[in-house]
């Protein structure tokens, strides 16, 4: 008998961070994960995660809305349906529910995890097969203090945990941000690459001035300096400067990617399973980018270990991640809700082994951190 989806449970899980994490859109001392537990009639449970940044600071979905919309609208569309036909289930969700990419990503991840467990295959194998079993991971320096960031970077270099770094800027005046970034780059020299992420903080004229100074300082990549909807401006910036632009919020899915490529964009794309609606959807964007010669970067919405593992399985199937990944978020959290932590070593992370995601829950930790 074909197994079916019996129940879908969602939990809000609040995990404190190891230090305040400062972005242009928010300062985070806690991250809220939406954990999905999808149970099937054959006794298999699939795990998924939907996570965003700073409540509603990053985008239109908050942890609370993700949970609410799954419970009220998306889960009823799946319960009772056959478990194994992922394409049909994705089409059913997309036909009846607009947007809600993060919520859909959590459900797609849970479906893939369950199917992998059912067949004895990893999620990467379900997605076509892993080309890599170890992926590079940078660290985000976001304490806001220049010397602390420099010390933190050298510590990670010494322990071989991270070899490149990203700085979150945009909340302060341009000149102050540039001084901060330039000082860190000067201190690290050729020991590590430095990128910056503006999270849409500048307008185009400010970006012209700021990027010129950052390029002079030796910064190697500029992520989303202007608002996402200003695609024409991002294309102009990409064509104006030698330092590449990384499109993040401006490229949610393959449709956005096609618009940017068609407009002459020559930079790189940040892939995120959450913003694209799941691992299968994000790989469509990745294939499009690679066909057009656009470099790829594996991004995060600061997911915990479940969401991070799902992204790693997707990234592992791609030919090349020219700019590496930033799948560091579990290290930003003081604790975890999984039985075995992800394996960070040699400036990167190992692809989890085993069927499905290769992840299991620590039930005691889950109960402790789940919001009541």
User: Is the Cβ–Cβ distance between 234 and 226 less than 8 Å?
Assistant: yes
| CA–CA separation, 312 and 113 (whole Å) | 13
Read off φ and ψ for residue 18, nearest 5 degrees: -75, -20
User: Is the Cβ–Cβ distance between 73 and 102 less than 8 Å?
Assistant: no
The one catalytic residue among 45, 108, 152, 326: 326
User: Is the Cβ–Cβ distance between 248 and 216 less than 8 Å?
Assistant: no
| CA–CA separation, 43 and 114 (whole Å) | 10
The one catalytic residue among 168, 185, 272, 275: 168
Provide the CA 135 distance to its chain's centre, in angstroms.
14
Residues 252, 197, 255: CA angle, nearest 5 degrees: 15
C-alpha closest to that of 25 among 1, 57, 48, 56: 57
**Length of the chain in terms of residues written:** 372
| CA–CA separation, 234 and 222 (whole Å) | 11
**Is 326 noted as a catalytic residue in this protein?**
yes
Q: HEC profile for 241-283?
A: CCCCEEECCCCCCHHHHHHHHHCCCCCEEEECHHHHCCHHHHH
Concatenated DSSP letters for 42-110? TS-EEEEEEE-STTTTSSS--HHHHHHHIIIIIHHHHTTSBSS-HHHHHHHHHHH--S-HHHHHHHHHH
Residues identified as active-site? 168, 326
């Amino acid at each position: 008998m074909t197994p079916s989806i019996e129940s879908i449970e969602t939990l809000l899980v609040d995990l404190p961070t190891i230090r305040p994490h400062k972005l242009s859109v928010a300062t985070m001392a806690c991250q809220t994960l939406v954990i999905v537990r999808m149970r099937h009639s054959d006794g298999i449970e699939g795990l998924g995660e939907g996570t965003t940044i700073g409540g509603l600071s990053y985008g239109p979905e908050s942890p609370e809305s993700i949970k609410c919309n799954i419970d009220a609208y998306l889960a009823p569309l799946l319960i009772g349906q056959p478990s194994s036909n992922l394409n049909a289930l994705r089409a059913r969700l997309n036909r009846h529910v607009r947007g809600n990419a993060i919520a859909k990503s959590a459900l797609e991840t849970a479906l893939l995890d369950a199917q992998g467990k059912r067949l004895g295959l990893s999620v990467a194998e379900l997605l076509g097969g892993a080309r890599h079993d170890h992926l590079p991971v940078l660290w985000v320096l976001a304490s806001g203090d220049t010397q602390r960031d420099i010390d933190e970077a050298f510590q990670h270099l010494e322990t071989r945990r991270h070899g490149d770094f990203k700085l979150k800027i945009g909340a302060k005046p341009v000149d102050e941000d540039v001084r901060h970034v330039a000082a860190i780059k000067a201190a690290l020299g050729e020991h590590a690459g430095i990128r910056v992420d503006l999270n849409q903080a500048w307008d185009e004229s400010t970006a012209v001035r700021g990027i010129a100074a950052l390029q002079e300082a030796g910064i190697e990549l500029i992520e989303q300096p202007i608002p996402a909807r200003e695609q024409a401006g991002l294309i102009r910036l990409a064509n104006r400067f030698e330092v590449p632009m990384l499109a993040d919020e401006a490229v949610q899915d393959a449709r956005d990617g096609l618009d940017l490529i068609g407009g002459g964009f020559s930079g790189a794309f940040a892939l995120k399973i959450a913003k694209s609606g799941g691992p299968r959807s994000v790989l469509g964007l990745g294939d499009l980018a690679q066909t057009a010669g656009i470099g790829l970067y594996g991004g995060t919405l600061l997911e915990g270990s479940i969401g991070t593992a799902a992204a790693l399985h997707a990234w592992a199937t791609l030919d090349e991640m020219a700019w590496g990944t930033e799948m560091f978020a579990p290290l930003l959290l003081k604790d975890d809700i999984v039985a075995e932590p992800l394996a960070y070593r040699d400036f990167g992370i190992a692809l989890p082994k085993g069927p499905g995601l290769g992840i299991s829950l620590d039930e005691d930790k889950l109960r402790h951190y789940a919001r009541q």
